[in-house]
Amino acid sequence: MQKKAISGIVTTMLIVLVSVAAVLIVWGVVKNMIQGTSDSITTGCIGMDLSITKCNITSSQVTVERGTGGGNMTNLIIKVTHTSGDSDTVRCAAMDILQTKTFNTSACIGSPKALADGDVVNVAAFIQTESGSESTCDLALRSDFACVGTVPVTPAP
């Protein structure tokens, strides 16, 4: 009769050990998923205010104005959608709050085509998150602007 009693205790302990192991494995997976998601969630994009004020197709320059708010910008992204339908994305230097800056798209990192009449331009910001990694502020990609000669840009239709 003692064998049956010991057998029951061993079975119970094995079930407890397997349950604890399963919980630890699931927690490891969930923890990694939560940490990966938290790096992409940041308050730095809230209030990020970028606007294009001028687009010069002759010199391939885009003038961008940064308003108040937003986080620690590490780079500016300029996306140009050409009239042919293809697009170029270039990575330019960061901007300070309340700064207006003119970027020559050919001097930024990337291999852009020259700006042409009718190209549509928009901007976004790369910011540094609280964890130290970089994240794109898609909130800044609110409006498309059409480049027409050297005049200030107008919202695309």
Opening angle at CA 94, ends 134 and 71, nearest 5? 55
Q: Where are the domains of the chain?
A: 1-40, 50-155
Q: What CATH number has the domain spanning 50-155?
A: 2.60.40.10
Distance CA 149, CA 87 (A): 19
User: Cβ contacts of residue 138 below 8 Å, gap of 6+?
Assistant: 45, 124
In order along its 157 residues, the chain shows pLDDT tens digits of 455 667 888 888 999 999 999 999 999 888 877 766 555 555 677 778 888 888 888 888 889 998 887 778 889 888 888 888 898 889 999 899 899 999 998 888 887 888 888 888 888 888 887 777 777 876 445 567 777 665 444 555 5
